[in-house]
Amino acid sequence: MNNRTKAFAAALMMIFSVSASSCGVSEKPQETTAADTESAAVTEASAGTGNVKISVDGTKFVVDGKEIWINGVNTPWNNWNDFGGNFDEAFWDEHFAMLHETGVNASRVWINCAGQTVLRMKSTGEVKNVNEKHWEDLDKLFDIAEKHQIYLMPTLMSFDHFKDGNTGAEQFRLMVQDDAFIQSYIDLYVDPFMDRYKDEPYLWAIDLMNEPDWVVENAECGRVGWEYMSNFFAKCAAAIHEKDEDTLVTVGLGMIKYNSDKHSGNYVSDEYLKSLGGEKAYLDFYSTHYYFWQNQYMGYPFETTPVDFGLDGTKPCVIGESAVVSESGRTIVQEYENAYNNGWNGVMAWTSNGVDNCGSMTELKPAIERIVELAEDKVFPLGR
């Protein structure tokens, strides 16, 4: 039972005194019928049994002791800045239903795309407050995810927040460079997020930021140094793990370049983050992104192991973004299958809903279905 429903359940217990065999959420106790029992059995069977939360066991993801492979997608937004803006509950309900039916078990969602729709900032870079509608919309998203057995990877921020022309860009740059302002972000956003959602069964992991590489490299995003970005990630990861060590944390780096000592260094390694934020400052898994333009510089991940690609082999590894339609000469079916066979723990194609020209579920569906065909027990370890 998640935090949002505990109070409601307690109130019901105070109002009604009913036996365990006739518990329910109706306004008054009702007699349990055979139809009710059958319906409950179907619901339980469709959702599986046991603990549905994803955890890490060595270099694998597990659910209730069984390995799970992330047969995933990015559904980054329907309407830019949905959550606190123009949230369309029907879209997410229908889309997640379709994803589950196809064989998808996880989706990465940008819950804060850019600007100050969610976070209201002072000119100094200190966080002032959070749009209450953000929480109301997220409540609905988590309910929809649980309904359709879609594990969520909410992405809390993107390089877009730092980009010239976007409202608040300068404030976000200032915020990540000041420990006091980082703490205001933790106090007013990260901690409330954890208090509200840490017990949600389909919260798979928190992605602290989408592609911070561009904040470091690009003039239009401020060229904020890694010493600041990594410090920001360390402080946020430590705050999340302080609230709940079982909540998984990652950073959606745009390329392996900054996630590997084989290239320019691993700026999110355990050693580096802990030096900045203490023992609870670490990522639980890597979720490096890959697009074909990177091939000539950093290699091709789908036909190699995570370690050979340049990751350190200490934790699970997923390909957190990759185009559905690419120039690699391989089909998306081949890429998903090769990733599975080469020891990756999942792939999350960009995107399921065709937000740009990189493809959609129309092209991705055969790859999702192929993985289910190969390993349904790892896609839906507790049943479908």
Residue-level pLDDT at 328:
86
Residue-level pLDDT at 4:
64
Measured distance CA(285)–CA(61) in Å, rounded = 9
Domains of the chain (ranges, CATH numbers) = 55-379 (3.20.20.80)
Does a cis peptide bond (omega within 30 degrees of 0) precede residue 351?
Answer: yes
The answer to whether 367 and 332 have CB atoms below 8 angstroms apart is yes
Helices (H), 103-177: 132-148, 169-175
Helices (H), strands (E): how many in the chain? 14, 13
Closest CA to 209 of 264, 149, 251, 260: 251
Strand duo 60-63 + 66-67: pairing: antiparallel
**Other CB atoms within 10 Å distance of the CB of residue 26:** 11
> What tokens were used for 145?
């995810």
How big, in percent rounded to 5, are the helix, strand and coil portions of the chain? 45, 15, 40
Q: Which amino acid is at 133?
A: K
Q: Which amino acid is at 245?
A: E
Q: Cα torsion at 66, 317, 223, 277 (round to 10°)?
A: 60
Residue-level pLDDT at 326:
86
Length of the chain as a residue count: 384
Longest dimension (CA), the chain: 68
**Degrees, nearest 5: CA angle 167-172-177:** 160
Measured distance CA(171)–CA(130) in Å, rounded = 15
Closest CA to 114 of 138, 79, 71: 79
Q: Cα–Cα distances in Å, from 86 out to 77, 137, 155, 190, 369?
A: 11, 9, 18, 22, 32
Measured distance CA(234)–CA(220) in Å, rounded = 24
Q: Cα–Cα distances in Å, from 71 out to 17, 45, 153, 255, 311?
A: 43, 21, 13, 20, 20
pTM score over 0.75: yes
Query: Digits of tens for pLDDT over the chain (384 positions)?
Result: 565 654 444 433 333 333 332 223 323 233 334 434 333 433 443 444 469 999 999 999 999 999 999 999 999 999 999 999 999 999 999 999 999 999 999 999 999 999 999 999 999 999 999 999 999 999 999 999 999 999 999 999 999 999 999 999 999 999 999 999 999 999 999 999 999 999 999 999 999 999 999 999 999 999 999 999 999 999 999 999 999 999 999 999 999 999 999 999 999 999 999 999 999 999 999 999 999 999 999 999 999 999 999 999 999 999 999 999 988 889 999 999 999 999 999 999 999 999 999 999 999 999 999 999 999 999 999 999
